[in-house]
Amino acid sequence: MIVIDPRSPLPPFEQLRAQLVDAVASGELVAGARLPTVRRLADDLGLAPGTVARAYRELEASGFIETRGRNGTFVSPQGDPALQQAQRAAAAFAEQVRMLRLDADQALALVAAALRASGPAT
């Protein structure tokens, strides 16, 4: 949950940027997670849209998020290239599971079974 402290010496855009980076680093926001629109997040936090837009621009420049045109803004995969590829695959799988209306426990069981069937990682 993002909280902007008006008494903080940090400007609001920096508080927002730092909290989103922390959420990505902690795993609270995972690769492929869709972020709210600039206007919606600004309304939710009581900020000017330009403040949120600045935080989003800085996060995109540093590779934490990516904008996909009209599709929205998403958390970018992080880490080494192999981890980034795995994060993209996991996000695609999660989207497919949602479309199929499968239960998360069922989906995780399918992944575990597939990993067991393919043998140990090299």
For each of the domains in the chain, give its residue range(s) and CATH number, in order of start. Answer: 1-76 (1.10.10.10), 79-122 (no CATH)
What average pLDDT does the segment 79-98 reach? 80
User: What is d(CA 109, CA 64) in angstroms, rounded to the nearest whole number?
Assistant: 30
Owner of token pair 């000017």: 48
| pLDDT value at residue 30 | 87
| pLDDT value at residue 9 | 94
Of the candidates 40, 42, 28, 43, the residue with the CA atom closest to the CA atom of residue 75: 28
pTM for the model? 0.70
